[in-house]
Chains A and B, each alone.
Chain A
Amino acid sequence: MKLRYGLAFVAAALITIPTASAASLSLASQNLTPVRTCILSGYPKADTGEIDAMVEQTNAGTNYGGNAAIDVESHTTTNIRTYIEFLVTGCTPAIPSTATVLAATLRLYATAVPNAVCRSEDIFPVTATWTETGITWTNQPFGTTLNNPASGYTAQLQVGTTCTTNKAAGYVTGWAVTNDVQKFVAGSATNYGWMIRDDAEGAGTAYTTAYEAKDGSSATEDPQLTISYIDG
């Protein structure tokens, strides 16, 4: 009799076990943080996923698309700007249009930085097409007027021997182009790349940063665009 009596409660207890088990599923969850990063580089030289060229005021009709350096210079009549574009759609796997771009950074390798000064260099999204083998100071999308555009840069970088960072040769910390890349990915803006210029062109003294172009010597110094995102 005691056995029957006990069996009844044992059965009841067994039947209620799944309730406790199901409840514990939600309590056992923990952090899971996935982040995807696509790194685009100017390597190899023949690859068209990245194009770059500087344009030089003193040689206004010359194309420097095959040059080993892409400079940024401020000087009375010898100003230099750099145009650079990465094929963001070249990421594998492709970044979904619904992705959230957490960070996008454009990094260049400086082989020489302005001496005894800390210069600001601005990066602007380009709004018209250009080609690596055709762009010159004369036909560049932003025109030949100095300090154009006057405002609206995406990011600014300090570079020079008196700066806190970016004061010697090496990869600069980079320009944060997150907002631009988010628009490229989402399709709300067309990717024509970026233009980098000194924040104050036309300086009385020449201030030059020499960056390594993709046509430079080695993969260790190629331009890079790093895009971190989460799938939408």
Chain B
Amino acid sequence: MPRFRVTARFLATIALVVAGMAVVGHAAGLAAASHPIGAGKVATPACTSTAVTVVETVTTTYVTKLTLSNIPSTCGGATIQVTMAEGAVNYTPASQTVPAGGGTVTETIPSGDIPVSSTAQVDIVMEGP
């Protein structure tokens, strides 16, 4: 029994030492790789590097529709979020899902919400697929 007690304590001590070494080794590995978390610069992958065609449909004084076309199939299934600034008026339609084969996404603007301006900014972010 005493022999077993010594063995158990010994094993427990070894386990803790090994665990401690593992942590030390892990930390050293992070520094040695010169890529500490938050300091590295990694390119975020994108589903396309080409432009999405954006066309505004307007009535005499208001924007009524935003058509986003030529979305490649590689973006099929992505969540697309549009933010629109027409002059000083901002509008964010609900996000949509790009059709499986890519193609066109249409954002209908509620009547009377967005007056036509000389400049419009349309920001698109596709997340995924």
- Which residues on A are within 8 Å of B, measured CB to CB? 1, 4-5, 7-9, 11-12, 15-16, 18-19, 22, 25-26, 29-44, 47, 49-50, 90-93, 102-103, 105, 218-220, 224, 226, 228
Contacts and interface: CB of A to CB of B under 8 A. Distances in A.
A90 B118 contact: yes
> What does DSSP make chain B's interface, helix, strand, loop or mixed?
mixed
B12 A35 contact: no
B126 A33 contact: yes
Interface of B: 4-5, 8-9, 11-13, 15-16, 18-20, 22-23, 26, 37, 42, 44-56, 58-61, 75, 78, 85, 116-129
Contact of B46 (A1, A31, A42): A31
A71 B11 CA distance: 91
A220 B60 contact: yes
Contacts of B52: 35, 37, 228
Contact of A49 (B23, B26, B119): B119
B118 A37 contact: no
A185 B19 CA distance: 57
User: Which 4 pairs, one residue from A and one from B, show the smallest C-beta to C-beta distance?
Assistant: A12-B19, A103-B51, A102-B51, A228-B51
A206 B27 CA distance: 79
Given A39-B119, A228-B52, A15 B19 contact: yes
A39 to B, nearest CB: 4
Contacts of B44: 29, 31-32
A43 B15 CA distance: 75
B45 to A, nearest CB: 5
Q: Which of A15, A47, A91 has the most CB of B within 10 A?
A: A15
Given A5-B8, A22-B37, A47-B118, A219 B124 contact: no
> What does DSSP make chain A's interface, helix, strand, loop or mixed?
mixed
A105 B51 CA distance: 11
B15 A9 contact: yes
Contact of A37 (B46, B60, B117, B121): B121
Given A219-B58, A228-B54, A4 B47 contact: no
Contact of B118 (A8, A30, A49): A49
B129 A31 contact: yes
Nearest to B116: A219
Contacts of B5: 1
Nearest to B20: A15
B125 to A, nearest CB: 5
7 contacts: A4-B8, A15-B19, A34-B125, A37-B51, A41-B117, A41-B118, A90-B119
A92 B87 CA distance: 8
A34 B126 CA distance: 6
B55 A226 contact: yes
Contact of B127 (A32, A38, A41, A219): A32
Q: Which of B13, B37, B53 has the most CB of A within 10 A?
A: B53
B19 to A, nearest CB: 3
A31 B58 contact: no
Nearest to B82: A37
